[in-house]
Amino acid sequence: MKRWLPILIVFLLILGGLWFWSLGSLPEEADARARIVAMEGSVNVISAEGTERVASQDMVLAEGETVMTGADGKATIDWFGSGETRVGESTTVILQRAQTTEGTTQVRMRLEAGRVWSRVLRLLDLGSDVSVETGDVVATVRGTSFDVQKSSGGPTTIWVADSVVEASGATVGGASDGFFIPEGAMADFGTGARTTSTRPISQADRATPWFTRNREADGNFRAQTLERLKTSLAGRTPSGFSRDLTRWSEGLRIRFAGRERRLRLESRYLLRRLLEIRLMAEEGRSGLAYQEFARLDGELRNRLQANAENIQTVRPAVLAAQIMFRDVPPSSAAYRVKQQVEEWLPLVARHSAERLYARLMTIDARLDEASAAVDEAKEEIATQVLVLARQGLVNADRERKEAKDLEPAQTDRIRRVWKALSIRAEALDQRLKALDEPMPSPPAEEVAAPTSTEPIVAPTSTEATPPSVTSTQPVVPTSTPPVAPKPVSLSLTPTALTIGFFERVTYRAIVVYDTGLTRDVSKAARFTASPTGYGALNGNVFSATQLQGSITINASYEEQGMTLTAASALTIVQR
């Protein structure tokens, strides 16, 4: 035997061992801090003791410090990777609080003068809180994008681009259970009178460079957050036997790690497997992705059932998993996994208040999806998702009222978040309806004019209704001034129908005139469902939920001082 052969064998074993060990390696985690991640022009930072210094890229900020921008200055502050604030020109903002521990984020800023735009990811922990205050108002966010401007010696204006902001303080009036500004709305505070209402964000405001740049930056921040998460998990996991080797390497690393290191590794390996599952589903290998998730889901649940203390260790990974799947739309093959990952949130709740809050965060995820669908004018998807969100709000409210072991502070927080989501759902419903504004009624002269050729839409129902008329014959004698046809009745089709869970039906309201003319007024009519709770109405479209029963769809229409009504029976069954 040659002398170098044993040396070669030892060398190869060492090399193979190093390679095997490297399969389970992960990049070092970034230190989560509050820091300046972008800047231009004149930007200074003043310490709590009053020492002023020029700001620099990646400068870490501490509580009590002040960020000041000059007339040409701008800065972006990153909050532990879960949010960022973009500071405008001639702005002074004080960091009153900046803390993060075990998934709980606490950020509070005081805007002395100027303008700041903040983008915050969904706050998944009940104890998390992000707010911006001025001398006029405190704006508390619920996972949103919002803009605050404080004029020197003048009032404060808040614009909300996404989700909802709750405003509080001496300048705020309105309902006793909170004043909320939904997405697409704005309000002024400190104008000499208590603020009791909001108004839509004007097109002029939306067209400003500040607004458009920050909306683009919001999208970039969301994409960058997911990309950073992917990078921290070292990319793709190999398939087949190489994947098995990687799992063994990960297990070996966990076995030899200290307790704190071991817990962090377990969480990050879980996230890496989830990332691989998402990528497999999006690449068309959904069957394999679902099988892999089923194994992972079973392992997680067994781990939680084996020891209640594992809740605390697994919780950060479960919260991060929500961020990983946040941007997955209902049309994606990974959406099924996203919904199942959301079911993990209640499993890692440490008390009943956190379980209720987890339910609310799942509803907020549906509202995010509805908002994205409205932005893309996907009415059907937006309607279906809003139905689920509304039903979830009904269930969550019932659970909240039945809960017996909530502390007063927890009860108040849950109630306020629930109301914020309810207001957001209403705002999204209005945006959805605005996608298809009702056409105004034609002038009386056009309807009755002797030479009119305007097409009149006839109902598709099999009911006996007066025939539709498009004749050019005069409706009234030509020797007299034109007289508008008088509406005499309203019909609603279909008149009776049975549908299954999550199915939709589109109703048509047809007004009948005394001249025999008919007109489709579905977009101008008002529709209601009785009793409520069986689904959602978006204009003339009803979407059923997972609840059996019989209801009545009512329609009403006003014209020439007259109110016409019609009704239709609807039965919802499990097919």
CA distance 166 to 362: 20
Identify the residue with better confidence: 20 or 150. 150
Residue 32 predicted with pLDDT over 80: no
Specify whether the CB–CB gap between 364 and 143 falls below 8 A: yes
Per-residue model confidence (pLDDT) at position 463: 38
Amino acid identity, position 103 = G
Q: Determine phi and psi for 97, rounding to 5 degrees.
A: -150, 140
Segment 264-285 shows an average pLDDT of 85
Residue 471 predicted with pLDDT over 50: no
CATH number for the 352-435 domain, one of 1.10.287, 1.10.3470, 1.10.8, 1.20.58? 1.20.58
For residue range 88-141, what is the model confidence (pLDDT) as tens digits? 999 999 999 998 887 788 899 999 999 999 998 878 788 888 999 999 999 998
Per-residue model confidence (pLDDT) at position 152: 79
Specify whether the CB–CB gap between 119 and 150 falls below 8 A: no
Confidence tier at 227 by pLDDT (50, 70, 90): confident
Q: Determine phi and psi for 556, rounding to 5 degrees.
A: -135, 145
Per-residue model confidence (pLDDT) at position 246: 67
Residue 353 predicted with pLDDT over 70: yes
Residue 516's region, left for phi above 0, alpha for psi from -120 to 50, else beta, is left
Fill in the DSSP letter of residue 125: S
Amino acid identity, position 14 = I
CA distance 166 to 160: 10
Per-residue model confidence (pLDDT) at position 521: 86
- Name which of 190-204, 406-420, 448-462 the model is least confident about: 448-462
Residue 240 predicted with pLDDT over 80: no
Per-residue model confidence (pLDDT) at position 451: 36
Per-residue model confidence (pLDDT) at position 212: 92
Residue 456 predicted with pLDDT over 50: no
Helices of type H across 348-443:
352-375, 379-402, 408-434
Residue 473 predicted with pLDDT over 70: no
Residue 413: half-sphere exposure toward Cβ, Cα within 13 Å: 19
Q: What are the extents of the domains in the chain? A: 34-201, 233-348, 352-435, 444-473+480-573
CATH number of 34-201: 2.60.120.1440
Confidence tier at 479 by pLDDT (50, 70, 90): very low
Residue 537 predicted with pLDDT over 90: no
Per-residue model confidence (pLDDT) at position 553: 92
Domain 444-473+480-573 has CATH 3.40.50.1860: no
What pTM value is reported for the model? 0.69
Helices of type H across 259-378:
259-282, 286-306, 310-324, 335-342, 344-347, 352-375
Per-residue model confidence (pLDDT) at position 439: 47
Residue 183: burial class (beta carbons within 10 Å; 0-12, 13-18, 19+): buried
Specify whether the CB–CB gap between 438 and 466 falls below 8 A: no
- Quick one: what percent of the chain has pLDDT higher than 70? 80
Specify whether the CB–CB gap between 267 and 316 falls below 8 A: yes
Segment 243-264 shows an average pLDDT of 67
- Name which of 220-229, 330-339, 548-557 the model is least confident about: 220-229
Please, what is the average pLDDT of the chain?
81
CA distance 312 to 303: 12
